[in-house]
Amino acid sequence: MLVRATYQQNGLVYVSSSEEEGGGGGPLSSEVIEIDDDDDDDVIAVGCLVPPKTPIASPLKDASAALQKSTQHVQQLVQFVNKTTPGPSLGRPLAPAVIVSQIPSQSAPQSSHTNIKEYELKVGMVVLGKKRTKIWHTGTLLTAVPSTGDGLEKYKVKFDKGKSLLSGNHIAFTFNPILENLYVGARVVAKYKDGSSEWLYAGIVAEMPSNKNRMRFLVFFDDGYASYVGIRDLYPILNRTWEDIEDASCRDFIEEYITAYPSRPMVLLKVGQIIKTEWEGTWWKSRVEEVEGSLVKILFLDDKRSEWIYRGSTRLEPMFNLRMTAQEKKPKLLSPPSTYQRPQPIMPMLPNSPIMSQAVATIPQQPSYRAPSDRVFYFVHTCQASCLNRIRPTKLDLHRGKNPLLVPLLYDFRRMTGRRKVNRKMSFHVIYKTPCGLCLRTMAEIQKYLFMTNCDFIFLEMFCLDPYVLVDRPFHPQRPYYYIADITRGKEDVPLSCVNEIDNIPPPKVAYSKERIPEDGVYINTSSDFLVGCNCTDGCQDKSKCSCHQLTLQATGCTPGAQINQSAGYLNKRLDECLPTGIYECNKMCRCCPQKCTNRLVQHGLQVRLQLFKTQNKGWGIRCLDDVAKGSFVCIYAGKILTDDFADKEGLEMGDEYFANLDHIESVENFKEGYESEAHCSDSEGSSVDVSRMKLQPSALASGNPQVAVKSTRGLALKSHGMMVKSGGGGAGGAGGQGGKQQGQSGGGKDTGPRNTRSFFDGEESCYIIDAKLEGNLGRYLNHSCSPNLFVQNVFVDTHDLRFPWVAFFASKRIRAGSELTWDYNYEVGSVEGKVLLCCCGSTECRGRLL
C-alpha cells in the first residue's frame, strides 16, 4: 500500500495487475499498443518509432524519488520471501509489488553496478566452470595462473573428468547472488529446465522481479533461449561481461536490448491466436498456447513442437514487420560492404635474429570477428550467381591466411548453433545462413548452393557442422622470448609462425620446402601418360562416374575379405579414417574444375593455421591456432627422397631421426597377407612351397589401427601390420635390408612363390626414404603420441606410381585450438637391440617406451 499512497500524494492513479486484467475487452488480437508509463514498458505501437522521452515533470520527479526510497524495503521483502519459501512462488502475490532496479548507463552497458559487492575466489572452493560445451559443470578451483600478455588471469579448475584452464568469464560461484547485485544486463549462470531435466547455461538478466512476472528474473541465455528463473536458480559469474557470448546473433541482440532498455517493444498476444513464427530462416504457422509475462509459448502446427519465445523477438511476425518498417524509414547511408578491418601485413623476419622478450610486448593477434548486426531473412527465390554478387571479391585470395572455417563468415554467411531435444536428450546442431537468407542444414545443401551460385572463393572444406568446433575460439599463447612471423618465408599459402615461450633459443636451421625433392638415383614419373583422368562436370560428386574415385574404390578390394568399400575416399572434403590402399585425387589430366572438385584436397596445400613452438620436454612441436574438425587435412611430410643405399650412408653420417618410409606397397601387401595367414591351404591346391609367415603384431590389427606410413629407425622398416618372412635364403621375391625381411626360396633353390609387387619396378627390392633432416616442411616437427590426434594417409596426386605417394596427415578427432598435433610413430618396443627410447607424450595411454 506504500506505493499506492505515494501515487495518490502526487495526484496519480495507481492500478494493480488484478485491476488491469479485470478491465474491459482489451486490445484486439495481435495488436501492439503503447504505454507512456516508464514502469509499464511491455508493449509499444506497431510501426511507431519511440520518440525521445521528454524530461519528467515536477510531480513525477517527486513520485520517482518516493519510489526510490521505498525500493530498499521492497527488496528486503523479496529476500525474506525467497528465504522462507521452499522454492520460487508460482502464484501471484496478494498485493502488487514494484521493484525499481538501477541499470547500467546506455553508453557503457557492461560497466559495473555501483551497489555490486565483489565476490572473491579462494583455492579449494567449489565453483561452476564452462568447459568445451555451453553447459556449465561443478568443479574445484586448484590455483590461479598469473596473467600473461593479454592481461587476463586464468584459473585451473578440476572437474569430475579432467582439468581445464578457464578465464574469469567462464567461472561462476555456487551460491546465489544477493538482490542488490543484480540488474538488467547482469551476467549470471541460470538453470534451464525442460521437464524433469535441468542444465546450467550462461545468460543475462533481462527483467527484474515484479508482480507481472511472479517475482522472477527473465534470463536471456547465450544460445537464444529465454526463461523465467527464481533467484535460487541464479549464480553470479566472476567477470560480468556479456561480450564473450559466442553466438554472434545472440550477442548483437543482447547488446541492442541493453542499449535500448527500458524501451522494450513487445507484441500483445492472446491464447489460441494464430501467428507466423520464424524458425531456422523459414516462417511457420503456429498457435499461441500460453502467455506468461514477457514470454509466449508457441506451438508449431506442422511438427507439434512447442517453444517459449520472448515477445519482443523478431521471430514473431508482428515484431519483424515493425523492425522492417523502422529500417525503411531510416536514411540509407553509404558504407563499405564489410566492417571487418584487415590487419596490416607483418614483414617476415629473419629466423637467425631472435626477438628478446624486452622487444616483444605481445604477439600480433587477429582481430575478433563480429557478425553483421542486421538480421537476414529469406524470401522465396531461385539461388543463382547473382545471390553472391554483393560479396564476390575482386581478389580470390582476399582472406588467405585466415582460419578457413571463418572465411564464410567474413563473406557475410551466418553460422548459427541451436539445440533440440531428441529422445529426451539435448542435442546441438549448426545451420549456415547465406547472404541471400537461405538456411543450409547439411553439407549436401551447402555443396549444392556453392554450385548454383558458381562460388569460386568459398569452398566446401570451409564449412563445418560440428557444433563443438568453434570458428573463432580465442587462443592466447604466453609471452614469448623468441618470435618469428613466418618461418616458411612465404613458401606456404598460410604463414607458419614460431614462438619460444621457454627460452630464447631459435629453432634448428632447416631449408624449408613444401614439395618433395628427388635425390640422385630417384626418378618420379609425373608425365600425363602415367595418369588416369576423369571427365566430370559436377565437381566429381558422383563417385560411380569419376575415374579417380573409382581408382580409390577398386583399390579397397585388396583389403582383407576382398570387399570393395563403396564409401571409401573423401566425404565432404574430409577423411574420417585411414585407407591403407591409398587415395587417388583428381589430377592435371582431369576435366573437372580444380576449385569445385570434391576429390582434390591434399594438392591444395596447407590451409589451417599452425604454429611452431618449443615444448617442455620434447623439443619443437606443432600446434593449431584454431579448432580443427575431424577428418580435416592438416599437412604433408616433405623432404628429400632417397634410395635405400643412399639412406644407409646418410643415416650413418647425419642421423636417421627424420626418416620416413615410402612403403605403401609393403603396407598393402602385408595387410592382405595378415588376413590370408588365417586361412588354411587345401591339399588339393598341390602347393609344394613351404611358406611360413610371422604372426602379426596385436597392436596393429586387433586395435584396428591401419597406419600406412611410419617413421624409420636405422636399418628397420617398422610397419603396423607386421612383416612376412619366407623360409630359406636367396631368391628374387623378397625386399631385403628392411625390417629383417628375408628373401624367399623354395627347397630346390628356385623361387616359385608369388613375386613381390615392388620387384616389377626394374627388380627393386626396398622402399624409398623421405629425409627431412636438412630440408623439409613443417611435418618434420610433428611429435609422437601414444594417443595421437592425427593419422597418416598415402595420397596419389601428381603420379600413380605406387612407389611415390604423398604422405599426408589428417585429423583423427576434433582438435581444440592450442593443442599440439601428434601422430603415432609405430615403433615396436624392443625391435632395436640395446637401444631404449622413452616416451614423453604424457598421454593416459602412454606405452612408456618408443623403442
How many domains are there within the chain?
2
pLDDT tens for residues 175-199? 998 888 888 888 899 988 877 778 8
Q: What is the pLDDT of residue 253?
A: 81
Q: What is the reported pLDDT for 35?
A: 34
Kind and range of the H or E element at 413?
A: none
Q: At what angle do helices 58-84 and 2-9 cross, to 10 degrees?
A: 180
CB contact at 8 A, 740 and 723: yes
For 446, half-sphere exposure in the C-beta direction (CA atoms, 13 angstrom radius) is 22
Per the domain annotation, does 580 fall within a domain?
Answer: no
46-50, 92-96, 119-123, 398-402 — which one is most confidently predicted on average?
398-402
The 10s digit of each residue's pLDDT in 237-247 is 887 776 667 77
Q: What is the pLDDT of residue 147?
A: 66
Provide the pLDDT for residue 800: 92
pLDDT of residue 557 exceeding 90: no
Domain boundary among 210, 244, 260: 260
Q: State whether 400 and 254 are in the same domain.
A: no
Residue 628's contacts (CB-CB under 8 Å, 6 or more residues apart) are 469, 608, 634, 811, 814, 815
Average pLDDT, the chain: 75
pLDDT tens-digit profile of 91-137? 333 333 333 333 333 333 343 444 445 667 888 899 999 877 778 88
Residue 53 has pLDDT above 50, yes or no: no
Q: Which tens digit of pLDDT belongs to each residue from 22-34? A: 444 443 333 343 3
Q: Which pLDDT belongs to residue 708?
A: 59
The predicted structure's pLDDT at residue 693: 30
Average pLDDT over residues 537-550: 94
Please report which confidence band the pLDDT of residue 374 belongs to, taking 50, 70 and 90 as the band edges. low
The torsion defined by the Cα of 253, 256, 257 and 261, in degrees rounded to 10, comes to 180
Assess contact for 447 and 459: CB atoms under 8 A.
no
Please tell me the predicted confidence (pLDDT) of residue 43.
39
- Distance, C-alpha 675 to centroid of its chain: 38
Q: Which residue would you say has higher pLDDT here, 47 or 780?
A: 780
- pLDDT score at 149: 54
Q: What band does 505 get if pLDDT is binned at 50, 70 and 90?
A: very high
Contact at 8 Å (CB) between 546 and 534?
yes
Given a contact cutoff of 8 angstroms between Cβ atoms, the answer to whether 357 and 471 are in contact is: no
Pick the last residue of a domain from 462, 492, 527.
Answer: 462
> For position 743, what pLDDT does the model report?
34
Query: Mean pLDDT over residues 448-456, rounded?
Result: 94
**What is the predicted pLDDT for the residue at 366?**
60
Least confident of 325-329, 395-399, 515-519, 742-746: 742-746
Report the alpha-carbon distance of residue 539 to residue 186 in Å, rounded: 50
Asked whether the predicted pLDDT for residue 578 surpasses 50, the reply is yes
pLDDT confidence tier of residue 57, bands split at 50, 70 and 90: very low
pLDDT of res. 67: 47
Q: Is residue 430 part of a domain?
A: yes
CA 697, 702, 705, 707 torsion: positive or negative? positive
Which of 462, 479, 495 delimits the end of a domain? 462
Torsion of the alpha carbons at 39, 40, 42 and 45, rounded to the nearest 10:
-120
352: confidence class by pLDDT, cuts 50, 70, 90: very low
First to last CA, the chain: 84
Q: How far apart are CA 839 and CA 575, in angstroms?
A: 28
The H or E element containing residue 482 is strand 482-484
As given in the structure block, the three cell numbers for residue 842 are 604424457
Q: How far is CA 446 from the centre of its chain?
A: 17
What residues make up the domain containing 406? 385-462
Co-location of 104 and 249 in the same domain = yes
In this prediction, residue 731 carries a pLDDT of: 34
pLDDT digits (tens, 9 = 90+) for 624-650: 999 999 999 999 999 999 998 888 888
b/e 123-153 (16+ beta carbons within 10 angstroms → b): eeeebbbbbeebebbebbbeeeeeeebbeee
The sign of the CA dihedral 453, 456, 459, 462 is negative
Residue from 152, 85, 156 nearest 127 by CA? 156
Query: For residue 569, what pLDDT band results from cuts at 50, 70 and 90?
Result: very high
Which positions ≥6 away from 476 have C-beta within 8 Å?
148, 149, 150, 152, 365
CATH number of domain containing 401: 3.30.890
Q: How far apart are CA 271 and CA 287, in angstroms?
A: 8
Query: In the chain, helix, strand, coil percent, each to 5?
Result: 20, 20, 60
Per-residue pLDDT tens over the stretch 251-299: 778 888 888 888 888 888 899 999 999 887 778 899 999 999 999 999 9
205-232 confidence digits (pLDDT tens): 999 998 888 899 999 988 778 899 999 9
- Mean pLDDT, range 337-356, rounded to an integer: 39
Q: Give Dmax (Cα) for the chain.
A: 122
Per-residue pLDDT of 651-703, as tens digits, reads 788 877 888 888 888 888 777 665 444 443 333 333 333 323 333 333 333 34
pLDDT band of residue 483 (cuts 50, 70, 90) is: very high
Predicted local confidence at residue 672, as pLDDT? 67
Q: Which of 512, 838, 807 is nearest to 659 (CA)?
A: 807
**Assigned domain for 436 exists:** yes
Q: What is the pTM of this model?
A: 0.59
- Residue 142 belongs to some domain of the structure: yes
Task: Kindly state whether residue 566 falls inside one of the protein's structural domains.
Answer: no
In a domain, residue 469? The reply is: no
Please tell me the predicted confidence (pLDDT) of residue 797: 95
Q: Is residue 232 part of a domain?
A: yes
For residue 451, what pLDDT is reported? 94
Residue 56 is classified by DSSP as P
**Positions of E strands within 146-245:** 154-158, 163-167, 171-173, 187-194, 197-207, 217-221, 226-229, 234-236
Residue 24: the pLDDT is 41
Instruction: Tell me, yes or no, whether 440 lies in a domain.
Output: yes
Residue percentage of the chain with pLDDT more than 70: 68
> From CA 605, how far away is CA 630, in angstroms rounded?
18
Task: State residue 8's pLDDT score.
Answer: 57
Q: What is the pLDDT, as a whole number, of residue 75?
A: 53
